[in-house]
Chains A and B, each alone.
Chain A
Amino acid sequence: MKRILVPIVVAGSFVFIASAAEPQLTKAQADFFESKIRPILVNECYKCHSATAEKVKGGLLMDTRDALLKGGDTGPALVPGKPDQSLLIKAVTYKDPDLQMPPKNKKLTDQQIADLTAWVKMGAPDPRKSAATVKGKDPRDAGKTHWSYQPVKKQAPPSVQQSDWVKTPVDNFILAKLEANSMKPNAPADRPALLRRTYYDLIGLPPTPAEVDAFVKDTSPDAFSKIVDKLLAMPQYGERWGRYWLDIARYSDTKGGVKRNKEDDRLPYAWTYRDYVIKAFNDDKPYNKFIIEQLAADKIPLGRDASPLAAMGFLTVGDRFMNNPNDIINDRIDTTTKAFLGVTVACARCHDHKFDPVPMADYYSLHGIFNSSMIPKDLPVIGKPVDESAAASFNSKLAALKKQETALEAQERAAKKNRDKKAGKKLQAQKSQLDGRIAQLEMDDRGSPPKAMVMFDKPKPTDSAIFIRGEAENKGPIVPRRSLEVLGGPSRPAFKNGSGRLELAQAIADPKNPLTPRVMANRIWQHHFGAGIVLTPDDLGVMSDPPSHPELLDYLAAHFVEHGWSVKEMHRLIMNSAAYQQSSANNPKFAQIDPLNHLLWRANVRRLDFESMRDSFLFIGGKLDQSRIGGPSVNLFLEPYSQRRSVYGYIDREGLSETFNHFDFANPDMATGRRYDTIVPQQSLFLMNSPLVVEQAKNLVRRPEFTAAKTEEEKLDVLYHIVYSRPPRPEEVMLSDSFLKDTKPYKSVTTAPQPATASRAVAKKKAAANKKRPETPVEAFRARAPLGSWEELAHTLLIANEASFVN
Chain B
Amino acid sequence: MNDTAMNQKYSPFNHGIFSRRDFLEKTGTGFGLLSLAGLTGMGLLGNEAHAADASGPLAPKQPHFPGKAKRVIHIFAQGAPSQVDTWDPKPALATHAGQQVPGMNGVAMPSPFKFAKHGRSGIEVSEVFPNLAKHVDEMAIIRSMHTDIPAHEIATVFMNTGSLRIAKPSVGSWVVYGLGSENQNIPGYISLRPGRMPPGGSQNWQSAFLPGTFQGTSINTTFDRVEQMIQNIRNPYLPLDEQRRQLDLVHKFNELHAQNLQKDAGLEARLEAHEMAFKMQTEATTAFDISKEPANVRALYGNSSQGKQLLIARRLMERCVRFIQVWASGWDHHSDIEGRLSASAEEIDSPLAGLLTDLKQRGLLDSTLVVWGGEFGRKPTKDKNGNANPGRDHNNKGFSTWLAGGGIKGGTIYGATDEFGGQAVENTVHVHDLHANILNALGFDHEKLRYRYNGRDFRLTDNFGKVIKPLFA
Contact = CB atoms under 8 A, between A and B. Distances in A.
Interface of A: 1-4, 6-12, 14-15, 27-28, 31-32, 34-36, 39, 109-111, 118, 471-473, 530-531, 535, 543, 584-586, 591, 595-597, 604-607, 654-656, 658-659, 661-662, 667, 676-686, 688-691, 694, 729, 731-732, 735-736, 739, 742, 746-749, 754-759, 763, 766, 777-787, 792-793, 795-797, 799-802, 805, 807
28 contacts: A1-B151, A3-B153, A6-B165, A12-B3, A15-B454, A31-B462, A111-B430, A530-B1, A531-B2, A584-B261, A597-B2, A677-B2, A681-B274, A682-B217, A684-B276, A688-B232, A688-B274, A688-B278, A689-B233, A689-B281, A748-B239, A754-B225, A757-B291, A759-B303, A786-B238, A792-B246, A801-B257, A805-B266
A700 to B, nearest CB: 15
Contact of B2 (A604, A654, A757): A604
B428 interface: yes
Contact of A681 (B201, B217, B236): B217
A591 B262 CA distance: 11
Given A6-B164, A535-B2, A685 B280 contact: yes
Interface in B205-251: 208-209, 212, 215, 217-218, 220, 223-228, 230-239, 241-243, 245-247, 249-250
Interface stretch (B15-23, B86-94, B116-124, B191-199): B191-199
A746 B202 contact: no
B269 A679 contact: yes
Given A11-B208, A607-B266, A655-B196, A784 B236 contact: yes
A605 B291 contact: no
A694 B199 CA distance: 34
A768 B255 CA distance: 47
Contact of A530 (B2, B238, B277, B384): B2
A746 B453 CA distance: 48
Interface stretch (B5-13, B314-322, B400-408): B5-13
B233 A685 contact: yes
Chain B interface residue count: which class? 35 or more
A478 to B, nearest CB: 21
Contact of B246 (A605, A777, A796, A801): A796
A754 B238 contact: no
Nearest to B292: A755
Nearest to B242: A746
Top 9 A-B pairs, shortest CB-CB distance: A586-B262, A684-B277, A781-B227, A595-B5, A685-B232, A689-B232, A681-B277, A14-B454, A800-B253
Contacts of A785: 237
Contact of B253 (A681, A685, A735): A735
Nearest to A637: B231
Given A4-B153, A682-B232, A604 B258 contact: no
B267 A605 contact: yes
Nearest to A7: B165
B233 A596 contact: no
A683 B273 contact: yes
A679 B273 contact: yes
Contact of A111 (B1, B234, B281, B428): B428
A586 B239 contact: no
Given A36-B148, A689-B233, 19 more contacts: A2-B151, A596-B5, A596-B6, A661-B197, A678-B202, A679-B269, A682-B277, A684-B270, A684-B274, A685-B280, A688-B247, A746-B241, A777-B231, A783-B236, A792-B246, A796-B246, A799-B274, A800-B253, A802-B254
B253 A607 contact: no
B262 A605 contact: yes
Contacts of B225: 754, 756-757, 780-781
A3 B157 CA distance: 11
A792 B238 contact: yes
B230 A682 contact: yes
B17 to A, nearest CB: 18
Contacts of A34: 165
A110 B152 contact: no
Contact of B223 (A688, A755, A778): A778
A776 to B, nearest CB: 9
Given A10-B167, A605-B261, A801 B267 contact: yes
Contacts of B200: 4
B238 A763 contact: no
B270 A801 contact: yes
A2 B243 CA distance: 45
Contacts of A656: 196-197
A188 B453 CA distance: 33
B233 A658 contact: no
Contacts of A796: 246, 249-250, 253
A111 B396 CA distance: 14
